[in-house]
Amino acid sequence: MENFFYNDDDRVTGPEVVTGKATFAAEHQVPGVTYGVLVGSNIANGSISALDTKAAERAPGVLAVISHLNAPPVPGYEPPKEPEKLPAGGKGLQVFSGPEIYFNGQPIVLVIADTFERATYAASLVKAQYQTNKPQTDFTEAGKSVEAVPGARYKDNIRGDAAAYKTAPVTLEAEYIVPVEVHNPMELHAIIARWDADDKVTVYDKTQGVKSTQRSIVSAFKLKEENVQVFAPFVGGGFGSALRTWPHEIAALLGAKKIGRPVKLVLTRNQMFLMVGYRPYTLQKIGLGATTDGKLVGISHQADSITSMYEEFTEGSVNVSKIMYACPNVFTRYHIYPFNVSTPTWMRGPGEATGTFALESALDELSYKLNMDPVELRLLNYAETDPETGKPYSSKFLKEAFELGVEAFGWKQRNPVVGSMKEGQLQVGYGMATGVFGAYRGVAKAVARIYADGSLVVQSAVSDSGPGTATAMVQVAASVMNMPKDKISFELGDASMPPGPTQGGSATTSTLGSAVFAVCTSLQEKMAALAVKNAVFYANELDEIKPSDFIFEDGFIVLASDKSKKISYTELLKQNKVNQLEATEESRPDGKMKDYVAYSYSVHFVKVLVNPATGMVTVDKVVIAGDAGKIISPKTAESQMIGGAVGGIGMALMEEGIIDNRYGRWVNNNFADYHVPVHADVPPIQAIFVNKPDPLLNPIGAKGMGEIALIGFAAAVANAVYHATGKRVRDLPITPDKLI
């Protein structure tokens, strides 16, 4: 299949978004809707000893005040099978199921009233008393007074000799800290829940996966799948925070059940820090050993990370050290420690972004010890096959990405001497780092219908939280069907459509694009089957025409051997008196990848300006070169890379969630104190793609992109800051106080 993709790929959601007509979770007009507001606990550890809700119940407009004392049961909340063990990830907090408090801000009461203002006021009247235990939120106690969660998955991983790095001629040992960072999509997490019958519910929800939300509700309330309707036509960002179903969603469902009316529940920005996940604090210890000419002899990478008191959470922070470089000896260890915090969750570039900050900073430190260009050091240790398995890559164009990036950025103008480059009074630094993330393909189903008016509608039950999934899928459909994209629409955000993947892990385009490819191909076969009988293709009756004799060109079925013989899709349907043709296909990974591995790669080049007096860092120039396979939708792909860089600027320079350990309580859970980048922090950003298809992963050649855009970026900034100032900041973020 020769793929072509339109370059004028304006987002298909554009007109709705820019006119304010795009409807996000809290914006669906549901008759009789009421307003729910959650009250959080004031302590981080202990239990509720008394709850005074009288004033709230008496307040004007209040319809219900729900807590563990009166909440309807959630049939799917089962007691833990091994109560002494920390439950596995995915169990979640069982909201309103008991008086126990595990973290500060834990939802303890839901107040429902007829208006938002009345619900908010009534919520302020709820008074709780607690039996309080000392909270443990001091992450530096991990491995000291706080013991690691035991389990087989936390065992050491050793390739070759674990201690080899120590005996190398050139060695480096350093510790790196990535603090708590919070997704903070601009849309507040929100849900409208409505029970249509005792066993039937409709929700409008902020979710990165309409099907996964449906499954969660099915399992929590023991309902039939077809009785749980989930809508999410527009999702205002996620970055991972909307990958799972959280307590507030179950709370809204409980509330709606209790009062028999729809409930709208929107988290406050403060609550966005407390109960919908975050990137966990991680302390990493890196050991590197190399020969004097720069060949890596050994890598040691240990990470200590955090989780909640009620659930495990793990991510692949140390995996990058296993797969990034050709190195015979690699030791990795990953431990998690429970604290009085809510459960973390995957945040853009999960694990790898954390791990890469450490590994790619350490590589940079090593490059100075070796007196070697950081790009050269990476090329010298380039992995031609997967270091972990020895398998070949289905595709790897990282070298090409290096070349493109070095050229576009002007890397060769870098004077390698630290502190040698200046612009006026400002110190100039050039830094770079690499990012890697697995390229995946999952299972997806899609339906396609072509109508007699020539329009094509493709559907799958997925969400789009920003990457532009519908735009990319229209591109795939247009490419396969070889028809103008303005005739095509891709519909999503409705759980009753054929099941699609959850939007995460940079796999949506690969997974869903494969399904769209399959369903469009299948639709073509159906069209071809109709066309073989059509008189237009027959010069005489003896001709024998098979479906494979056709090609599809610009909205026409064309006889390959005689291009003058053709019929438009519209005419074909009309002549056959069919209103529409429909195909449904499920696509799953085939066997082609059995003996291969697949990764996407990025190379980040950053120029910073540092004011030596004030310590303020300006990111002045950014180039990201990516190997993400075939680029399906150039404009949205470029935007996604730019967005990753902006997220990376936040991670590198300003984002840090802070808890006051005396109270176990967040102190900066708002947008004034938790800084994310604003316009003034972001320079023009150039995103470049190698844009070569992966031949094996899927039929469309795309790998993934959302994660690699961010992974490695923070290290590139830290490396540039070192180059400018000689100050190596190993604990993010790099705020002015660390540079003066």
Partner 1 sequence: MINFDYVRAASQKAVTDLLGKDPTAKIIAGGTNLVDLMKRGVEAPEKLIDITRLPLGKIEQVDNLVHIGALVPNSELAAHPLIAEKFPLLVQALHAGASPQLRNMATVGGNMMQRTRCTYFYDTVLPCNKRKPGSGCAAIGGHNRMHAIFGASQNCIAVHPSDMCVALAALEAKVMVSGNKGERKILFKDFHRLPGDTPAQDNNLQRGELITGISIPLAERFSKHATYLKVRDRHSYAFALVSVAAALQLDGNKIQDARIAMGGVAHKPWRLYAAEDFLKGKSATTQNFKEAAALAMKDAKAYEGNHFKLTLAPNSIVQALQTITRNI
Partner 2 sequence: MNDEQSPIKKEQEQMHHARRNFLKQSAFLSALAIAPPALVKAAEKNMDEQAAAFFEQKALKLEVNGKPYQLSVEPRVTLLDLLREQLHLTGTKKGCDFGQCGACTVHVDGQRVLSCMSLAVMQDGKKVTTIEGLAKGDKLHPMQQAFITHDGFQCGYCTPGQIMSAVACVREGHAGSANEIREYMSGNICRCGAYPNIVKAIMEVKEKGGNI
Which residues participate in catalysis according to the annotation? 707
Residue 396: how many CB atoms within 10 A of its CB?
A: 24
Q: Is 644 in the site for partner 2 (CB under 8 A)?
A: yes
Nearer residue to partner 1 within complex by CB, 297 or 619 = 619
Single out the residue of 451, 504, 448, 506 nearest to residue 476, CA to CA: 448
Residue 567, C-beta contacts closer than 8 angstroms, at least 6 positions apart: 531, 534, 536, 537, 556, 557, 575
Q: Is 506 in the site for partner 2 (CB under 8 A)?
A: no
570 phi and psi, to 5 degrees? -60, -50
Q: Which position among 154, 451, 663, 671 is part of the footprint of partner 2 (CB under 8 A)?
A: 671
CB of 685 to partner 2, least distance (A): 5
Nearer residue to partner 2 within complex by CB, 287 or 435 = 435
Q: Which stretch binds partner 2 (CB under 8 A): 76-84, 111-119, 217-225, 651-659?
A: 111-119
Distance from C-alpha of 724 to C-alpha of 415, rounded to nearest angstrom: 10
Q: Which position among 213, 639, 698, 725 is part of the footprint of partner 2 (CB under 8 A)?
A: 639
Distance from C-alpha of 411 to C-alpha of 625, rounded to nearest angstrom: 13
Looking at residue 344, the DSSP 8-state letter turns out to be P
| Residue 49 · residue 130 · CB < 8 Å | yes
Q: Which stretch binds partner 2 (CB under 8 A): 275-283, 406-414, 438-446, 644-652?
A: 644-652
Q: Is 13 in the site for partner 2 (CB under 8 A)?
A: yes
Q: Is 419 in the site for partner 2 (CB under 8 A)?
A: no
342 phi and psi, to 5 degrees? -75, 170
Which residues of the chain form contacts with partner 1 (CB under 8 A)? 42, 117, 120-121, 124, 611, 613-616, 618, 653-654, 658, 660, 662-663, 665, 667-668, 670, 672-673, 675, 677-681, 735-737, 740
Quote the strand ranges of 213-328, DSSP E: 228-231, 263-266, 282-290, 296-307
Site string for partner 2, 117-156 (x = CB under 8 A): x---x--xx-------------------------------
Q: Is 197 in the site for partner 2 (CB under 8 A)?
A: no
Q: Is 24 in the site for partner 2 (CB under 8 A)?
A: yes
| Residue 311 · residue 92 · CB < 8 Å | yes
HSE, CB side, 13 Å, CA atoms: give it for residue 216. Answer: 26
Site string for partner 2, 228-267 (x = CB under 8 A): ------xxxxxx--------------------------x-
Distance from C-alpha of 330 to C-alpha of 601, rounded to nearest angstrom: 21
Q: Is 180 in the site for partner 2 (CB under 8 A)?
A: no
* Among partner 2, partner 1, none, partner that 667 touches (CB below 5 to 8 angstroms by kind): partner 1
Nearer residue to partner 2 within complex by CB, 45 or 271 = 271
Q: Is 194 in the site for partner 2 (CB under 8 A)?
A: no
Q: Is 269 in the site for partner 2 (CB under 8 A)?
A: yes
Q: Please count the residues of this chain forming the interface with partner 2, following the rule CB under 8 A.
A: 68
Single out the residue of 86, 93, 209 nearest to residue 153, CA to CA: 86
The owner of tokens 């049939």 is 75
Quick one: tokens of 349? 């570039």
Looking at residue 139, the DSSP 8-state letter turns out to be G
Nearer residue to partner 1 within complex by CB, 155 or 662 = 662
* Among partner 2, partner 1, none, partner that 539 touches (CB below 5 to 8 angstroms by kind): none
CB of 680 to partner 1, least distance (A): 4
| Residue 624 · residue 688 · CB < 8 Å | yes
Q: Which stretch binds partner 2 (CB under 8 A): 67-75, 183-191, 216-224, 338-346?
A: 183-191
Residue 402: how many CB atoms within 10 A of its CB?
A: 24
Distance from C-alpha of 461 to C-alpha of 475, rounded to nearest angstrom: 18
Nearer residue to partner 1 within complex by CB, 560 or 613 = 613
The owner of tokens 């692949």 is 316
Nearer residue to partner 1 within complex by CB, 182 or 286 = 182
| Residue 48 · residue 108 · CB < 8 Å | yes
| Residue 321 · residue 156 · CB < 8 Å | no
Q: H-helix or E-strand containing 204? A: strand 200-205
Q: Is 53 in the site for partner 2 (CB under 8 A)?
A: no
* Contacting residues toward partner 2, per CB under 8 A: 10-11, 13-24, 26-27, 29, 55, 60-61, 115-117, 121, 124-125, 183-188, 234-239, 266, 268-269, 465-468, 635-636, 638-640, 642-647, 670-672, 676-680, 682-685
